[in-house]
Structure 1
Amino acid sequence: MSTQSPLKTILLAGFTAGTLDILAAISLLGKMKPIPVLNYIASGVFGKEAFAGGIEMAWLGLLFHYLIAFSFAIAYFLIFPYVPLLRKHKLLSGLLYGAVVWVVMNLVVVPMTNVSRGPIQLQSALLNMAILMICVGLPISFLVHRYYALKH
């Protein structure tokens, strides 16, 4: 029987995915400059003003980033019992979920925000999708799978 609660599992999965993702974004995409990366995230709500907002906007960007990561962890946790693929293939389902996260973020969420961006570029899209597959999809899949495996 699992001693870990659903809430702890979701928090751990969201925090792990959010942390790995933001570290990858800062190191691979942000040239080791965290403030512009976090301000970019904040620009989803505040538009171009976020880039002039300094550290305050960066903190808001980090908050938004983790809220998104927790949202994806909650979604995976809730659908897990109902989708046999997720239970049978944690590696494959984690990678696929990371790709789904990329699609949802880039084709649904970001277009509804104030983020200024051009057309999707293939090389950039593939790198971003790979980051989400490895840093978001896999940890969420493995941690949620562990919870349900210990529960039974």
Structure 2
Amino acid sequence: MTDVASTVTLARTALYAGLLAGALDISAAIITNLQVPARVVLQSVAGGWLGPAAYRGGWPTAWLGLASHFALMLVIAVIFIAAAAAFPALRRFWFPVGVAFGVAVWLAMTFLVVPMSASTLTPPADLMTALKPVAVHILAVGLPIAWVARRMLGAG
């Protein structure tokens, strides 16, 4: 495969993985928070940029949150796809790797990205509170991205 074809394949794989994980993850966030409107869930993502003002911005800040969510998922997918292209074992053992990647993404988002942002969200207070978001990141982020990598790039 030529370098251009390889780059296009990697970019297409990252795009598909990012779109799939982004759709699954934001859907899970909305479904697991049915006590608030979907707009508020999306505004909480925009809160990373705008802080509490995100909740006063109506649908424009919700759309900012949705766009930000998908942009971040694309970055997360690019990181995994680049690693999976360099290390075929990540594709060969996609299931346990996907589980580990989902946990790693949750840890990075919870303890690095969100605290460094303007968001007012706080990390879970205990293990039981953390289980649901960790499970969501495994099922909606780590496993789908790893599966797309194996499916589109081969088992290695």
Q: Give me the TM-score of the superposition, normalised by structure 2.
A: 0.88
Number of corresponding residues: 151
In 1, are the aligned partners of 2:45 and 2:65 still within 8 Å (CA)? yes
In the alignment, structure 1 residue 104 sits paired with structure 2 residue 104: no
Residue 32 of structure 1 deviates from its aligned partner by 6.4
Residue 117 of structure 1 deviates from its aligned partner by 2.9
Q: Distance in 2 between matches of 1:124 and 1:29?
A: 14
Q: Give me the TM-score of the superposition, normalised by structure 1.
A: 0.90
Partner of 2:149: 144
Q: Which blocks of at least 5 consecutive residues in structure 2 are unaligned?
A: none
Q: Distance in 1 between matches of 2:151 and 2:88?
A: 15
Q: Alignment partner for residue 60 of structure 2, among 56, 62, 66?
A: 56
Give the letter for the 1:136 counterpart. Answer: V
Runs of 4+ off more than 3 Å: 1-4, 81-85
Coordinate RMSD, CA, aligned: 2.1
Distance 1:8 1:112, change over 3 A: same
CA deviations 1:52-79 (Å, max 9, x no partner) are 0000000000001001110110000111
Partner of 2:130: 125
Q: Alignment partner for residue 79 of structure 2, among 65, 75, 80?
A: 75
Percentage identity across aligned positions? 34
Q: Distance in 1 between matches of 2:86 and 2:42?
A: 35
